[in-house]
Chains A and B, each alone.
Chain A
Amino acid sequence: MQKYSIFNLVKNAFSNHENWDLAWKDPTPKEEYDVVIIGGGGHGLATAYYLAKEHNITKVAIIEKGWIGGGNVGRNTTIIRSNYMHDENALFSEFGMDLWRKMSQDLNYNVMFSPRGIINLAHSDSQMNAYARRGNSMRLNGIDAVLLNREQVKEIIPMADFSEDVRFPIFGGLMQPSAGTARHDAVAWGYARQADSMGVDIIQNCEVTGFDVTAGKINGIRTSRGNIKTKKVGLCVAGSTNILAEKLNMTLPIETHLLQACVSEPVKPILDRVVTFGAGHFYISQSDKGEMVMGGDLDGYNSYAQRGNLPTLQHVLTEGIAMMPFLSKLKMLRTWGGIMDMSMDGSPIIDKTHIDGLYLNCGWCYGGFKATPASGWTFAHTIAQDRVHELNAGFSLNRFSSGHLIDEKGLGTKTWIS
């Protein structure tokens, strides 16, 4: 594989950058693989990469119905954080933060990781108390957390509305300084390029149509480009999890919902943090191009359409304008939607299943992007060793029946409870 470096950049400049290698190949599916990963999004690509890198398993195929990076990894708001209270989420995400910090070097691909910090705004005394508690829990787990009072928040984001007569005045906030953003497409491309270079077959435009399961064991998959034999299959298909589960006669604690995001026209730098509104569900950051990147609530009903409706967008942006009134002057550039695998407790599932050789990675709700490296790493471990790693032991499928829910925010698909 051609290394991306300043030397190679200069060298290729002499040939008008026309002789770069393709970043990944376009192979035809082989007859058999050791592991097949279904879903060529961030999590699937990362899983294949860590299977090759950490476990030396390179006879791996990634089966993607569309094109890699065309799903949720290209449709998110690029936020990376580990500001969780519960141990399972906190330790898992903080492990991921470490991988994020090293990712550009590790992948030899600039993912533009920008640890600019995230601030969750508080709008009441009780919310400040709740944030103090969450911040303390985070620090006990080795995650940086700073409780900010009103004046400290004002110093960092003076463009927010600090008037005292608004419906939700800003009391303070909880900041995780090491949180931030990254270039989402680069994450997909970086993982794809490295996985490909280690022998992983990235097979695009290939739809999974069925599974060969005999005597409780997986023997292969059927696809639109032929049958593939394999003893191990990892599902990494986010919003399409239920569709594939149906082919396996499984019913999961997952519902597929629609989440919208949007960006404004690009403006000069004004916001150098990620900020979330505490009295609703709204988050904002500014991209390197200058666009304000914003998102919020689910549309609220089951949906497989990758496009949303205006009422939710209006609701979300109303919150945004309440928080930062200058946003009302901006023109909207783009809006889009992605389909989320909403789990019933709001936390993910990375586990084995009752079918031998079938592994499940789903339930990412609002937080799939930031989990990409940790999800890939732990899922690769679960597949390679046929047992869960302690980092994803809590994300079990049977926690719903055993009662060990990880109710981080006490909501999953039921957004109206929040």
Chain B
Amino acid sequence: MLHIKCPHCGMRSQNEFSYGGDASVKRPELNKEISDEEWDNFVYNRKSLRGKHLELWQHLYGCRQWIKVERDTSTHEIFNTYKADEEIS
């Protein structure tokens, strides 16, 4: 079982979280000319990296906050967790 450290609540079991997918995906900016390709990349296309993957999780059965988790998709090792609006260097 994964243990995810919620930046707000501390270390919790995977059962309290739900997954929200790739956190590096950016929504195209509104009020700008947006091409079909940009929408495709936002809605459908994913890199689905093997190795380090920055992803969104929601602490659904806890504080209900969305967080970012840096996890290895081939070993399931979790390196770091961040608040949703935290800048990651």
Contact = CB atoms under 8 A, between A and B. Distances in A.
Nearest to A401: B40
B48 A242 contact: yes
B18 A416 contact: yes
B73 A304 contact: yes
Interface in A232-268: 242-243, 246, 251-256
Interface in A269-301: 300-301
A302 interface: yes
9 contacts: A252-B45, A252-B46, A256-B73, A300-B18, A301-B19, A302-B53, A303-B73, A304-B74, A401-B40
B34 to A, nearest CB: 13
Interface string B30-48: 0000001101110111111
A400 interface: yes
Nearest to A243: B50
B1 A309 contact: yes
Contacts of B71: 301
Contacts of B39: 401
Given A302-B55, A305-B76, A344 B44 contact: yes
Given A242-B48, A309-B2, A300 B19 contact: yes
Interface in A390-416: 400-401, 413-414, 416
Contacts, number: 72
A311 B21 CA distance: 19
B80 interface: no
B75 A305 contact: yes
Q: A-side binding surface: helix, strand, loop or mixed?
A: mixed
A213 B53 CA distance: 28
B29 to A, nearest CB: 19
B46 A311 contact: no
A302 B48 contact: yes
B73 A302 contact: yes
Contact of B76 (A246, A303, A344, A400): A303
Given A400-B40, A416-B18, A254 B48 contact: yes
Interface size class of A (residues with CB under 8 A): 20 to 34
Contact of A310 (B1, B44, B49, B74): B1
A255 B55 CA distance: 13
A251 B46 contact: yes
Nearest to B36: A401
Given A302-B22, A305-B73, A401-B36, A246 B47 contact: yes
A309 B75 CA distance: 12
Contacts of A305: 73-76
Interface size class of B (residues with CB under 8 A): 20 to 34
Given A252-B46, A305-B73, 4 more contacts: A300-B18, A305-B75, A309-B2, A400-B45
B23 to A, nearest CB: 11
A129 B73 CA distance: 40
Contacts of A413: 21, 46
Contacts of B19: 300-301, 416
Nearest to A253: B44
Top 4 nearest A-B pairs by Cβ distance?
Answer: A253-B44, A242-B48, A251-B45, A304-B74
Which of B14, B45, B49, B75 counts the most A-chain CB atoms under 10 A from its CB?
B45
B35 to A, nearest CB: 10
A243 B48 CA distance: 8
A353 to B, nearest CB: 13
Contacts of B75: 305
A254 B46 contact: yes
Contacts of A254: 46, 48
Contact of A251 (B1, B15, B47): B47
Interface in A318-340: none
Which of A242, A302, A309, A416 counts the most B-chain CB atoms under 10 A from its CB?
A302
Contacts of A344: 43-44
A344 B44 CA distance: 6
Given A256-B73, A401-B36, A301 B45 contact: no
B22 to A, nearest CB: 7
A46 to B, nearest CB: 25
A149 to B, nearest CB: 36
Contacts of A310: 1
Nearest to A400: B44
B15 A311 contact: yes
Nearest to B18: A416
B45 to A, nearest CB: 4
B22 A251 contact: no
